[in-house]
Structure 1
Amino acid sequence: MKRFIYIITDRNRNNLHVGLCSDLLKTIQFYSEMPTLFFDNSKQLNRLVYFEEINNEDMAMERFKTVSTYTRPQKERMIRPVNPDWIDLTAALNFESGVRRPQQVRPSVNIGRRLTA
């Protein structure tokens, strides 16, 4: 079963939280639904800036334990090579999940009608 190690931060990049999960999209959704779970409103964690996908559960747990002990500069050295602008990676994940799992297409009311210019 694959696992994800991730780093999520607030909009000002003051806090870097390391986590481990099996479904990254659901976890990010949880953070957005419970914005003040870990911090107050000004420090809500809502920006996914780094993640790793690991296919072995034991290896993922070991990696999580290691990354969790990193200092802030060490975490920044992990993030900057893959995400130098610290953009929120959630949008890309949502897009990728949509590509992997195509949604049902509903027929449009214009099917079969000829469009005129």
Structure 2
Amino acid sequence: MKRFIYIITDRNRNNLHVGLCSDLLKTLDFYKQMPTLFFDSAQQLNRLVYFEEINNEDMAMERFKYVSTFTRPQKEKLIRSVNKEWIDLTLGLNLESGLRQRPVMRPSVATTRRAVTF
């Protein structure tokens, strides 16, 4: 089963929170629904700035424990290695998940066939 290690921050980059989850989009939605879960509303964690996808649960847990022990400068270096501008990666994830969903109704295919004459 896939696991995601992520770092999420507030709009001023004051707080960096490391997390581990199996469904990144659901977790980000949870942060939106519970804006004052960890901090007050001024420091709402709402910007995904880093994530890793790991296919093995044990390896994911070990990596999570390792990244959780990082100091702030180490976390910033990790983020800047893949996201120099600290842009919110949620936008790309939402776009990608929207592309993967199948349309609700498929267009009907004409069932009548024309006879081919030579």
Under TM normalisation by the shorter chain, which class is it? 0.7 to 0.9
Deviation at 1:100, TM superposition (A): 1.9
Say how many residue pairs are matched.
Answer: 107
Provide the C-alpha distance between the structure 2 equivalents of 1:83 and 1:93, rounded to a whole number of angstroms: 14
Give per-residue Cα distances to partners, 1:11-63, cap 9 Å, x unaligned: 00000000000000000000000000000011110000000000000000000
Q: TM-score, normalised by structure 1?
A: 0.87
Provide the C-alpha distance between the structure 1 equivalents of 2:95 and 2:66, rounded to a whole number of angstroms: 30
| 1:17 match | 17
| 1:76 match | 76
SS of residue matched to 1:65: helix
Provide the C-alpha distance between the structure 1 equivalents of 2:105 and 2:81, rounded to a whole number of angstroms: 38
Q: TM-score, normalised by structure 2?
A: 0.87
Amino acid aligned to 1:81: S
Deviation at 1:106, TM superposition (A): 7.8
Provide the C-alpha distance between the structure 1 equivalents of 2:87 and 2:102, rounded to a whole number of angstroms: 25
Larger radius of gyration: 2
**How high is the sequence identity, in percent, across the aligned residues?**
79
| 1:33 match | 33
| 1:91 match | 91
SS of residue matched to 1:50: strand
Provide the C-alpha distance between the structure 2 equivalents of 1:43 and 1:94, rounded to a whole number of angstroms: 23
Gaps of 5+ in 1: 108-117
Gaps of 5+ in 2: 108-118
